Amino acid sequence: MGAISRRPGMAGVNEVFAMAYEFIKTEVVDGVLVMTMHDPPTRNALGPDMAAEMFERLDEFENNPEERVLVLTGTAPSFCSGANVRGFRRRIDEREAETEPEPLTWGKMEYMKGRQRPAESGPRVNFVPLRIHDLQKPSIAVVNGPAAGVGCGLALSCDIRVVGDSGRLSERFVLNGLIPGDGSCWQLPKLIGTSNTLLLQYTGDWMGGEDAVHIGLASKCFPDDQLMEGAMELAKRIASGPTVAHSLTKYLVHESMDLTFREALELASAAQEHVRRTEDHKIAVQWFLDKNRGMPPFVGR
């Protein structure tokens, strides 16, 4: 992959729309889109330009049936260093005229819950995690180095996290006197419980490697030099699976959070009716009736 590359697999009528990206590198391998955040001078900080490129490429990923799994990583030695502290200064200046906040503010927040926020200009950096969360295809974060602040949020928004021995995550927001603005107050408790969530968010302490697996922050840990190989083995295996079933499984996991068990079962039954009509289900049934073993030759439809 060059620093700026045309993406493979984009030929024919779509070629005219293909864009050369500056802040991400992309490659498609065996149905896996590898998206590498790439801005070495900032250790891959997520700014508006990188966010815009990610939004665009993720839309394309979702619409391209040849791309079945997302792998998100960063140019070594960093995953993503978070947002850029220089941008903070400007925002502060914009707010100087405004009044001081009260020290204890839960009551005020209750009021803000019902309020609509004004639309912001440009891509909202802190909404990239939502875009990844909402992808209708599997996603894997390969945490190859520090993932700080919204960089941690990007990792958390993927379905699965694998870390290298040097991979580590931190809710660094607190060191900037900020709250986690990337949705990790929603995500972390679902992975590691409220106690460890608040410990990490109050302190900004790093958590990585096997420790991250131990508390449920990541699913697998690899030695650094085997990280991408191990992650790609998993990604390719998922990419050769039944894509429609994967998509609806993710949907059901998301939706079931707000349902009772009975409602979740009813929704799963409806989804199963849908999946039973896919080519992949028919392939699998014939495969096992023919006494084959292992993964059926799925086609992703």
Contact flag: residue 3 with a second copy (CB under 8 A): no
Query: Given the complex with a second copy, which of 91 and 229 has the nearer CB atom?
Result: 91
Contact flag: residue 150 with a second copy (CB under 8 A): no
Comparing CA positions, the residue from 45, 52, 6 lying closest to residue 25 is: 6
For residues 217-256, which are near a second copy according to CB under 8 A? 218-220, 234, 237-238, 241-253, 255-256
Contact flag: residue 21 with a second copy (CB under 8 A): no
Torsion, CA 112, CA 117, CA 118, CA 124, rounded to 10: 130
DSSP string, 242-262: -HHHHHHHHHHHHHHTTS-HH
Is the CB of residue 226 less than 8 Å from the CB of residue 202?
no
- Specify the amino acid at residue 194: T
Output the CA torsion sign for 278, 279, 281, 285. Answer: positive
Contact flag: residue 129 with a second copy (CB under 8 A): yes
- Specify the amino acid at residue 143: V
Comparing CA positions, the residue from 230, 234, 205 lying closest to residue 217 is: 205
Q: Shortest distance, CB of residue 260 to a second copy, whole angstroms? A: 7
Site string for a second copy, 41-80 (x = CB under 8 A): ---------------------x--x---------------
Stretch that binds a second copy, among 17-25, 32-40, 44-52, 287-295 (CB under 8 A): 287-295
**CA–CA separation, 95 vs 58, rounded Å?**
33
Name the token pair of 201.
Answer: 């968010």
Contact flag: residue 187 with a second copy (CB under 8 A): yes
Strand 139-143 and strand 146-148: the pairing is unpaired
Q: Which residue in 6, 165, 191, 236 binds a second copy (CB under 8 A)?
A: 191
Q: Which residue in 85, 210, 223, 226 binds a second copy (CB under 8 A)?
A: 85
**CA–CA separation, 223 vs 180, rounded Å?**
29
Q: Which residue in 123, 138, 167, 209 binds a second copy (CB under 8 A)?
A: 138
Contact flag: residue 34 with a second copy (CB under 8 A): no
Query: Given the complex with a second copy, which of 16 and 120 has the nearer CB atom?
Result: 120
Using CB under 8 A, count the residues that bind a second copy: 119
Contact flag: residue 274 with a second copy (CB under 8 A): yes
Stretch that binds a second copy, among 5-13, 29-37, 52-60, 104-112 (CB under 8 A): 104-112
For residue 104, give every residue at least 6 positions away whose Cβ sits within 8 Å of its Cβ, in sequence order, or none. Answer: none
Query: Given the complex with a second copy, which of 5 and 286 has the nearer CB atom?
Result: 286
Query: Given the complex with a second copy, which of 4 and 87 has the nearer CB atom?
Result: 87
Contact flag: residue 121 with a second copy (CB under 8 A): no
Stretch that binds a second copy, among 23-31, 48-56, 112-120, 142-150 (CB under 8 A): 112-120
Query: Given the complex with a second copy, which of 1 and 254 has the nearer CB atom?
Result: 254
Contact flag: residue 258 with a second copy (CB under 8 A): yes
**CA–CA separation, 141 vs 143, rounded Å?**
6
Q: In what order do the strands lie in the sheet with 207-208?
A: 146-148, 168-170, 207-208
